[in-house]
């Protein structure tokens, strides 16, 4: 087992559970839609972030990081930023390809949205055969971010550690507070995918 500093990212496709019914065709199409979206996003995730694990409609990614390496942290945010247009391009493609299907999954495709969560901290990396398992309080913390009160459809929610590591300007981000289970009141930063682009124009 290794203890390392790392950036952790969770990509979460939401809107899925709302339109799933028991009907087999709908469920099958919903799975296909999500899989294709997930693959599109993951195809982009070779560098610097690596996919560690798929968790249903979500993916956990990480990158080892030495505190102070702001350039690496910025490249991680650039990668996160690039997931959004790829996701929505894939969504548009699937909407077109599935225009003839009247099932609930295909007709509600526009309910799907992408959310990204970013945190930086210390994690334990455990090698189990060919798999790397990530553990530690910071891994738990990033998962807690998924249960939040953000009203936006698609967004990037990050911790102060993630923001500070990349030296992102506070003025370009929205303050957000969340009472996290087992963690307590936590100050976070929020940005939507459009704001993300302006954020990076200034880098
Ligand atoms: Zn369908």
Determine the distance separating the centroid of ligand 1 and the alpha carbon of 155, expressed in angstroms: 27
CA–centroid distance, residue 95 to ligand 1 (Å): 10
**Exposed, middle or buried by CB within 10 Å (0-12, 13-18, 19+), for 96?**
exposed
pLDDT computed for residue 24 by the predictor: 73
- What was the pLDDT predicted at 182? 87
Sequential DSSP letters for 123-170: EEEEEETTEEEEESHHHHHHHHTTS-----SSEEEEEHHHHHHTT--G
Domain edges within the chain? 2-201
Give the residue, 31 or 195, on which the prediction is more confident.
31
**pLDDT digits 0-9 by tens, 60-75:** 999 999 999 999 999 9
Please check whether residue 177 is in contact with residue 190, taking contact to mean a CB–CB distance below 8 angstroms.
no
CATH superfamily, with its number, for domain 2-201: Nucleotide cyclase, GGDEF domain (3.30.70.1230)
CA 29 to ligand 1 center in whole angstroms? 5
Q: How far is the CA of 103 from the centre of ligand 1 (A)?
A: 4
Supply the pTM of this predicted model: 0.92
Structure confidence by residue, pLDDT tens digits, 173-197: 999 999 998 889 999 999 986 666 6
The tokens describing 82, both together, are 């690039």
Kindly report the average pLDDT of the chain as a whole number.
Answer: 90
Cα-to-centroid distance, 14 and ligand 1 (Å): 18
């Amino acid at each position: 087992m290794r203890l390392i500093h790392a950036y952790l990212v969770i990509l979460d496709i939401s809107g899925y559970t709302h339109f799933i019914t028991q009907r087999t065709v709908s469920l099958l199409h919903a799975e296909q839609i999500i899989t294709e979206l997930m693959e599109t996003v993951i195809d982009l995730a070779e560098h610097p972030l690596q996919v560690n694990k798929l968790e249903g409609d979500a993916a956990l990614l990480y990158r080892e990081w030495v505190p102070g390496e702001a350039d690496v942290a910025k490249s991680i945010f650039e990668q996160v930023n690039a997931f959004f247009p790829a996701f929505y391009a894939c969504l548009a493609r699937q909407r077109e390809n599935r225009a003839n299907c009247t099932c609930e999954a295909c007709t509600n495709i526009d309910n799907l949205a992408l959310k990204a969560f970013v945190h930086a901290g210390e994690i334990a990396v455990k090698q189990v055969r060919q798999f790397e398992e990530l553990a530690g309080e910071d891994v738990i913390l990033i998962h807690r971010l998924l249960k939040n009160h953000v009203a936006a459809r698609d967004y990037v929610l990050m911790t102060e550690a993630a923001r500070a590591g990349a030296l992102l300007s506070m003025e370009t981000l929205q303050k957000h507070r969340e009472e996290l289970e087992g963690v307590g009141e936590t100050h976070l930063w929020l940005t939507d995918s459009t704001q993300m682009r302006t954020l990076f124009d200034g880098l």
